[in-house]
Chains A and B, each alone.
Chain A
Amino acid sequence: AQSVTQPDIHITVSEGASLELRCNYSYGATPYLFWYVQSPGQGLQLLLKYFSGDTLVQGIKGFEAEFKRSQSSFNLRKPSVHWSDAAEYFCAVGVNSGTYKYIFGTGTRLKVLA
């Protein structure tokens, strides 16, 4: 069965430090992969997506993610975190089982220390 795992429920980093959020997926075919961010009380905003091609994907707000097929991973990174990055982050895989839909991970809540 298809699934997405985000092993870290909470992560705390200091402002200016680097960040890596982990995401592992289970899907038999070539996946479409996404990272979304959700600020408190808001809907989800797309940070970046991977469909094919270059496995290092650049997104908005200085984020990037790397697709590693051998590890079934799509980890999100940022070299220097800003206080405004505090939010919840969701990884998702797009699956096509007749119709196209997403499966989401359970999210990682990021706290940024000043």
Chain B
Amino acid sequence: DVKVTQSSRYLVKRTGEKVFLECVQDMDHENMFWYRQDPGLGLRLIYFSYDVKMKEKGDIPEGYSVSREKKERFSLILESASTNQTSMYLCASSSQGGGYTFGSGTRLTVV
């Protein structure tokens, strides 16, 4: 069964910490995405990548960065976590023009 795996289901971090959210896919997909999901706002695209070492900003990139050193792995980095980054983070991957496969999500709480 094809999978997108997010390394943590729940995380609690302190304000100012550097936070890494990891995502791995086993489908050899070119494209990978990071979204955050907040009640009433739906899913908002943070960053995406269409190839190794390539990245593009989504709609809300401020306060985040990403890394894609290998095709199967796409990491989201919060350089200095803040309370307004408390959210559910969803990773997805897709082949070109294809549907997304989502991970189970990471619920991050910043205190």
Task: Give Cα distance in the complex from A106 to B50, angstroms.
Answer: 25
Judged by a CB distance under 8 angstroms, whether A27 is at the interface is: no
- With A34-B99, A106-B41 known as contacts, the answer to whether A99 contacts B56 (CB < 8 A) is yes
- Contact check, A106 vs B42: say whether CB atoms are below 8 A apart: yes
B38-54 interface bits toward A, Cβ cutoff 8 Å, 1 = contact, 0 = none: 00111111001010000
- With A43-B90, A44-B90 known as contacts, the answer to whether A101 contacts B102 (CB < 8 A) is no
Which of B43, B92, B96 contacts A100, CB < 8 Å?
B96
- With A100-B31, A101-B58 known as contacts, the answer to whether A49 contacts B99 (CB < 8 A) is yes
Could you say which residues of chain A place their CB within 8 Å of the CB of B102?
Answer: 36, 43-45
Which of B4, B40, B48, B101 contacts A101, CB < 8 Å?
B48
Judged by a CB distance under 8 angstroms, whether A63 is at the interface is: no
- With A90-B42, A107-B42 known as contacts, the answer to whether A102 contacts B100 (CB < 8 A) is yes
Most buried by B among A9, A43, A100: A43
- With A43-B103, A43-B104, A49-B99 known as contacts, the answer to whether A99 contacts B48 (CB < 8 A) is yes
Task: Give Cα distance in the complex from A94 to B103, angstroms.
Answer: 19
Judged by a CB distance under 8 angstroms, whether A56 is at the interface is: no
Residue of A nearest to B104 (CB): A43
Please give the distance in Å from B61's CB to the nearest CB on chain A: 13
Interface residue ranges of B67-108 to A (CB < 8 Å): 90, 92, 94, 96-97, 99-105
Judged by a CB distance under 8 angstroms, whether A71 is at the interface is: no
